Structure 1
């Protein structure tokens, strides 16, 4: 979710019980739901655990699942949970719960309720109830579960093929359908089409009538936390995800069609997922523990499951895949844990690995000489956060790559640090590098290139545009690979100053610039539109300490101290797609991380962190319609047509209590004009 771990966790709202999960493979040998339990540990009574169950049901299960299995928040039993708290005093767990939970009202429960819910969590993890109740005096007792844990067998070779493969019920959408996505009434991909333009030819909603929009329906997942997904729609069905679940609902009335929930098997470095890809009757998504799964588009049943990467080392898959010519393309996240990123192509029918591209080159690979050999032995970085762009005409795949590791420690890893903070352009058939464009060399601000680029042709030239967290929109010539423009889209200040032990304030901060939704392109007016965050931060540089699978930076204040939230702002920019000239810019008064969607009706659809769905006039940026959604808008805003009616679907409810200070239920809201409106 952006390029800094603290910022991404905060934006996702996933600092739930268990915090930053420990990265081990241990699983409980005895079922955690065992009534009698099997582990000795802190004292608590069965009655106390029963009382804690009531507290959990009322205040915790929306995020963490009815059976503590995890939902939008992390699991509270099993591998990640036990590993996180193993051999630590119970006071660590209790204090985290008592001071940080519930997410929407931290510290609001009584001391008895916090003790009781702690007892319930212990019971659900197999600890034995006794005759003495848990109280403050017992919190110094250590939680020890390592004696009765068994190891999950990690395949010796990752990615590992699926153990079983099933066939999908349908064959839709076909490759031919996806190639025509730009002209479709549907919204078939994360960024609508392969080129990532996000432009819709629908024109029923215009600048003249947008003010008449009405909410048609809404769907609540019943969970809270990271909700940054870019939904897709096909034939009247809307598909979207949260950290663990995949949903299919009626795109006109919000009725649920099916829900599929994935239970992580190993650690979850960051519980967030940004979306799916549709192809040949299948729906593809990544998981928080490093798997790529294929579901049946019609039923939600699992067709295959490929274990891509070891989440216990810090890897996970948060980005929405893209599918072309029978291949599923996806890359890993995890740079802030010191991982080395890869881009993969898998067979869409079986999940078989076709090729791999290393975004951190080593040995005799091109670009390896831009790293000090000592620093790339164990780490290097490079995350793929959001989605991908593909040019079917040339067969080239465009992949945005995030920050190097250790984050902020530029002097520790001298050189350009390829291919971090870059767009790498790969032959989609072979995975071979065609060319690349690096936005920032030797990044020491955590200024990832996090969002997918947009590809377009204008005035006889071939362009690529991409925006980064450093607060610029970059324009490139796809034929010559030259950079044509570098346009600031937020406040840029003190960006060249070295980081110091006393602290260096710079803008945009590690939570500023362009986050996980990038630019959109309107071919009618040859205009690029992009949202951004205007927020500064201060970093204090410190020693680098590498611990495999742990957060890896070179600072003494984590991922920075942000300016007060009241100073956080946002912008929407309209930019001439040939010259780079700014046509207009709109100050939002709130950080903007949601996608922006231009249409043939002359309007833009987007949303803000204050929870508003916005319709802007594409000519001048003036707000034509504003509606509160009940939660932060941080994901996709898409439009599609069913019958004779144009709809807009808005993702709302990205919860972040620690940084963004946003809250709300995970909700998809659908809007349309009243029937018969001209």
Structure 2
């Protein structure tokens, strides 16, 4: 589901670009759907967030790995919000032949630079948070893969990875279902990743007899990076237009963030011999699809666990062709991000025939249960 525009804090900006890396955060960046980023000016304050997004940055789609969307910065409040003034505006209408009138993009904010997606071709842009200047732009010419894509839209954004020694990358899933790794400083594809910076996500993905991958599978959410593994879900046609019992299954996969090499696959519709296979009666596992993860994925950096919010199986409002509980559709599934091993699952809707997909990431939090923190 599209999400509301969200405010982001950015640093104060003396004219030198290096000054963007200071700890005095003085301006608010907004992605005003669908038209613009706006920068708003108020008095500076020095301080670091103790929870949620670190130090005024926004390095993950949800602010932090647990997607709390929380920032402890408090310089803008009820007493001064009326004094804010626009100091720059960035327009997304330039990215494509037709303006896209909706946006669910949340920019990342890393070291004084905003990273976001824009336009129907899902261009990736880097914007100077101090001035609104576009630093670089990248987009892929996908030809028919774009015109047939089930999710031709700007997407929800990008992911960020660094080795801590100067290698910084922005990762994005294109509308035609490619995974691109871009140099965060230049926007150029990273040659050592995949095929000159591009990984064709159709390769190695399961399908069903008679169902082509091109035109039936894509994604609008950013990938998730945990350590050196990048995790990718998918979004499919629902199997209702035209009505069908057959569709592509919603496998979730992990790749090496440095090379693009495949590491693991988790099958949300299990094969024979795998846990959950017994919940697909009358051999319905052979042809049923969907049960994908089209929403963003949360993770716990301490354990390395990822949390997958899955959708309903084909075809949303009818399940006569797939008797059984249909694991792991409409479930919350916890995996080890490094191996793909399932840790636990909870099926929210058994045999979903209401299209009650999990539409967003789960929020992770430490809570006290019977006097113990969990």
TM-score bracket relative to the smaller structure: 0.7 to 0.9
Aligned residue for 2:231? 329
The match for 2:173 is 286
User: Retained in 2: the 8 A contact 1:313–1:339?
Assistant: no
Shift of 1:313: 5.5
Equivalent residue number for residue 362 of structure 1: 271
Q: Could you tell me how far apart the structure 1 residues matched to 2:54 and 2:368 are?
A: 21
Kindly provide the CA deviation profile for residues 461-501 of structure 1, in whole angstroms up to 9, marking residues without a partner as x. Answer: 799xxxxxxxxxxxxxx97xxxxxxxxxxxxxxxxxxxxxx
* TM-score in terms of structure 1 length: 0.41
Partner residue of 2:150?
269
How much does 1:210 deviate? 2.5
C-alpha RMSD of the superposition: 2.6
SS in 1 for 2:53: helix
Q: Is residue 2:69 matched to residue 1:198? A: yes
Scaled by the length of structure 2, the TM-score of the pair is 0.72
CA deviation vs aligned residue, 1:437-470 (integer Å, no higher than 9, x gap): 222122212111021001101235799xxxxxxx
Q: Is the CA contact 1:341–1:359 (under 8 Å) kept in the aligned structure 2?
A: yes
Q: Tell me, yes or no, if the aligned pair for 1:335 and 1:405 is still in contact at 8 Å.
A: no
Shift of 1:290: 1.5
Aligned equivalent of 2:85? 214
1:672 corresponds to = none
SS of alignment partner, residue 60 of structure 2: coil
Q: Is contact 1:340–1:359 with CA below 8 Å preserved after alignment? A: yes
The question of 1:402 aligning with 2:295 is answered: no
Whole-angstrom CA distance in 1 between matches of 2:233 and 2:171: 13
Contact 1:401 1:422 survives alignment (8 Å): yes
Which residue is equivalent to 1:227? 103
| Structure 1 alignment gaps of length 5 or more | 3-71, 73-179, 464-477, 480-678
Offset of residue 185 of structure 1: 1.7
Query: Are the aligned partners of 2:319 and 2:351 in contact in 1 as well (CA < 8 Å)?
Result: yes
Corresponding residue for 2:53? 182
Report deviation, 1:369.
Answer: 1.5
Aligned to 2:364: 455
Query: Are 1:388 and 2:297 counterparts?
Result: yes
| 1:404-423 pair list within 5 angstroms | 404-423=313-332
Q: Does 1:430 align with 2:339?
A: yes
Q: Secondary structure at the match of 1:456?
A: coil
Structure whose CA Rg is larger: 1
**Bigger proportion of residues as helix:** 1
Q: Aligned match of 1:249 in 127, 130, 134? A: 127
| Structure 2 counterparts to residues 559-574 of structure 1, below 5 A | none
| More off after superposition, 238-247 vs 187-196 | 238-247
Taking the aligned partners of 1:271 and 1:462, their CA distance within structure 2 comes to: 48
Question: For the structure 1 residues 372 and 216, does the alpha-carbon distance in structure 2 shift closer, same or farther, using more than 3 Å as the test?
Answer: farther
Q: Which residues in structure 2 correspond to 1:306-345 (within 5 Å)?
A: 306-309=199-202, 311-312=213-214, 314-334=216-236, 336-337=238-239, 338-345=247-254
Contact 1:322 1:329 in 2 (8 A): yes
Rounded Cα–Cα distance in structure 2 between residues aligned with 1:437 and 1:216: 47
Shift of 1:383: 2.3
> Whole-Å Cα distance in 1 between the matches of residues 370 and 161 of structure 2?
31
Superposed CA offset, 1:141-171 (max 9, x none): xxxxxxxxxxxxxxxxxxxxxxxxxxxxxxx
* Structure with the larger RCO, 1 or 2 (CA within 8 Å, 6+ apart): 1
Contact 2:151/2:219 (8 A) holds in 1: no
Q: Does residue 268 of structure 2 align to residue 379 of structure 1?
A: no
2:222 and 2:370 map into 1 onto residues whose CA distance is 29
Residues 237 and 444 of structure 1: CA distance in aligned 2, closer, same or farther (over 3 Å): same
On the 8 A contact 2:234/2:292 being kept in 1, the answer is yes
5 Å-filtered alignment, 1:99-178, equals: none
Q: What secondary structure, in the 3-state scheme, does the structure 2 residue paired with 1:410 have?
A: coil
* Secondary structure, counterpart of 1:457 in structure 2: coil
SS of 1:211's equivalent in the other structure is: helix
Find the aligned partners of 2:116 and 2:370 in 1 and give their Cα distance: 35
**Deviation at residue 372 of structure 1 after TM alignment:** 2.6
The verdict on how the C-alpha distance between 1:389 and 1:258 changes in structure 2, with shifts beyond 3 A counting, is same
Distance 2:337 2:134 in 1: 36
Deviations 1:201-245 (A, max 9, x none): 101012332233333322112242252112111111111013421
Q: Residue deviations 1:250-273, cap 9 Å, x none?
A: 113211111111122423122032
> Hey, what does 2:136 align to over in structure 1?
258
1:439 aligned to 2:348? yes
Equivalent residue of 1:312, what SS?
coil
Measured after TM superposition, the shift of residue 393 of structure 1 is 1.7
SS of the aligned residue for 2:365 comes to strand
Supply the distance in 1 between the matched residues of 2:126 and 2:370 (Cα, whole angstroms).
40
Q: 1:342 to 1:209 in 2, by over 3 A?
A: same
Residues 391 and 314 (structure 1 numbering): CA distance in 2 closer, same or farther, change over 3 Å?
same
| CA deviation string 1:343-397 (max 9, x = no partner) | 1111111111111101111211111111134432122211222311111222211
SS in 2 for 1:292: strand
Secondary structure of 2:364's aligned partner: strand
Q: In the aligned structure 1, how far is the partner of 2:237 from the partner of 2:338?
A: 26
Question: Could you tell me whether the CA contact under 8 Å between 2:282 and 2:322 is conserved in 1?
Answer: no
Task: Tell me the matched-pair count.
Answer: 291
Q: Is contact 2:308–2:333 with CA below 8 Å preserved after alignment?
A: yes
